[in-house]
Each structure stands twice: as structure tokens, then as C-alpha cells.
Amino acid sequence: MHDTLVEVNDLKQYFPIRTGIGKTIPLKAVDDISFTIGRGETLGLVGESGCGKTTAGRSILRLYEPTGGEVLFEGEPVTDRNITAMRKKMQMVFQDPYSSLDPRMTVEDIIGEPLDVHKLCKNRKERRERILELMETVGLNAEHATRYAHEFSGGQRQRIGIARALAVKPDFIVCDEPVSALDVSIQAQIINMFEELQEKLGVAYLFIAHDLLVVHHISKRIAVMYLGKIVELADADEINDHPIHPYTESLLSAVPIPDPDITRARQRIILEGDVPSPLHRPTGCPFRTRCRYATEQCARECPELTDRGGGHQVACWVK
């Protein structure tokens, strides 16, 4: 078993929303989520848009000030005071490779910026060598170091973003939808690179995505989020073969599988309606308004994540 690298305890992230003069109500983007990530492990985080998966990733790195809860990195709480030092160990790869790179910086400067911020290189020569080494690691041509981001394709830009994250030799990277903006034929290149980097450098990932097949492929364990809550967390194969939570069940059945015989033979569970607004979250279990099995208890109380054996955690009253 891996020893724990990142521990998230009851993390809360509320955003105040103005509803009138002097009136605000909290938008509970992330509400009481807890999980751990082992050294060199990949935890997949899936859910539909607006479920809080991106916010969760950003709160862990303190890109937002969390409303409550704590994040422990190697047992040490991540706070405002030590965040600069912590970011030497925790990094992020963003979804959009077009807007996450400064168009006025050369590739060399983009990858070199974290080296400068954390003063990791003694002189220009060392900095240059490290940058070229990083470019090679992510499969970029070293001759392109003086080019600007717009001269690269989407897949290559994502490689630049990954090289930037790797520059400080982090132990943990939050990958926020790193392949969803890329073409199908390029996605596999980047997915493979993430896997190879993990084997080589032992880095752990929080892999946030909405594509369940991609997440299943890359992750060891998967957490499913719905309206700011984790509803199920288990081993990737376990969650895929034996989903327990009704939401996970329908989510999996809704994914179109690129295999005509399998996908057509499958029983699809079509959910009624849309995801409710996080501003007006249902009482009790957040999923109950779309759930086939909802009972009175679901409306009254919100179920906690409980272990159903073998580390398979589910938050549901019925199942």
C-alpha cells in the first residue's frame, strides 16, 4: 500500500453570491469532501460540469482560500504561510492549453518561470540546461525553446504546460481536464505521457476529467462528485464493474462506449431532468431529485460516505 501523500479533510469551498443589496448567500461549490492520495498514485475525480471537481482541485492548491477543512501534504497542513514552499511540491496542469500559456513569453521563459520563482538554478547555464532537459522529458524539440506558444499545436502546448508543472520536481500534480481540449488522436499521446512520467518520477496525480473512459484508464481509484459532494469512491475497476451509488450507475450507463455491439446491448439508465443549481441544492441527499430510489429519509438527511468493504465508500441511504 502507498503511504499517504495528500490528505484532504472536510474541505469546504463556498463562494458568496450577491442576491440583493447587502444580501449574500453561499454557493457551496465543494462541501465537506475528504480523500487521500498515496505517493505515486492517481486518483480520478469525475462528475458533470458544475459539480465542483475543478474547484476542489484549485482549493487543494490554495488557488482559492478554502472556507473550511484542511489539506495535509506529507502530514503537514497547507496554509497561507507555507503555500509558496508547498507549491514546490504541488503543481497544476490546466484544461485549456490556449489560455494557460502567456502569449508574450517564449517556451523557455514559460518553463523557466517556476525555476526563477523558487530560485532553483544557480546560473543561466544551469537554468538553460534544466529547461532543455524538461523539454526533452515531455517530448518537445529543444530547438523550439525560443518560440512562442502560439506557434505550437494544442497537444504540444499541453506538453509545455506539463513541462512547466514538472520544473520544480513536484510530488503531486493536479491535472484539471488536461486532455479534454485535445483531438482524439492526440489525447492518447498525452495520457501515455502522464503514465510514463508517473513510472519514471513517481509523481502522484489528482486527475480531474468528465470523460469516464479516460479517467478509468489512467486512475487507480476514482471519486465521483455530484453537487459538491463525493458520492462514491473506490478502486477504478471496482467502481466500473460494481457501482453502488445510483448516480454512478447511471453515469456509467450513459457513457457511449466505442464498440457497437457492447454499447447497443447495454441497458441505459436515463436520468430525468437536469442537475439542480448549486445555489438551491435539494435538502438531504443532493441527488434525490433525480434518483429512482429516493425515500423520505433521503430528503431529510444527507448520507455520509461509509465504507462498504475493501475501501469502497458510498454515500447513499438506499443502496
Partner 1 sequence: MAERLLSVQDLHTSFFTDNGEVQAVNGISFDLDPGEILGIVGESGSGKSVTAYSIMQILADTGKITGGRILFKGSDLTTWNDKQMQSFRGKNCSIIFQDPMTSLNPVFTIGNQLEEAVVLHTSRRGEAAKARVKEFLELVGINEPEKRIKQYPFELSGGMRQRVMIAMALACEPDILIADEPTTALDVTIQAQILELIQSLQKKMGMAVILVTHDLGVIADMCDNIIVMYGGRICERGTAREIFYNPKHEYTKGLLRSIPNVGNMKKKLVPISGTPINMLNLPKGCAFCPRCDAAMKICLSELPQEITINSDHKAACWVNVKNALEEVSADA
* Cα–chain center distance at 148: 27
Q: In what order do the strands lie in the sheet with 76-77?
A: 23-38, 4-20, 68-73, 76-77
**Taking the complex as a whole, how short is the minimal distance between the CB of residue 178 and partner 1, in angstroms?**
14
* Cα–chain center distance at 19: 30
**Taking the complex as a whole, how short is the minimal distance between the CB of residue 315 and partner 1, in angstroms?**
18
Q: Which CB atom, from 87 or from 216, has the smaller least distance to partner 1?
A: 216
Footprint on this chain of partner 1 (rule: CB under 8 A): 48-49, 153, 155-156, 183-189, 191-192, 195, 210, 212-214, 216-217, 236-237, 240, 250-251, 253-264, 268, 270-271, 274-275
**Taking the complex as a whole, how short is the minimal distance between the CB of residue 94 and partner 1, in angstroms?**
19
Sign of CA dihedral 116, 119, 121, 122: positive
Q: Which CB atom, from 125 or from 265, has the smaller least distance to partner 1?
A: 265
Q: Which CB atom, from 218 or from 316, has the smaller least distance to partner 1?
A: 218
**Taking the complex as a whole, how short is the minimal distance between the CB of residue 54 and partner 1, in angstroms?**
14
**Taking the complex as a whole, how short is the minimal distance between the CB of residue 218 and partner 1, in angstroms?**
8
**Taking the complex as a whole, how short is the minimal distance between the CB of residue 169 and partner 1, in angstroms?**
25
Q: Which CB atom, from 74 or from 238, has the smaller least distance to partner 1?
A: 238
Q: Which CB atom, from 274 or from 307, has the smaller least distance to partner 1?
A: 274
**Taking the complex as a whole, how short is the minimal distance between the CB of residue 34 and partner 1, in angstroms?**
25
Q: Which CB atom, from 96 or from 195, has the smaller least distance to partner 1?
A: 195
Q: Which CB atom, from 89 or from 157, has the smaller least distance to partner 1?
A: 157
Question: What length does the chain have?
Answer: 319
**Taking the complex as a whole, how short is the minimal distance between the CB of residue 180 and partner 1, in angstroms?**
10
Rounded Cα–Cα distance for residues 33 and 35 (Å): 7
Q: Which CB atom, from 258 or from 310, has the smaller least distance to partner 1?
A: 258
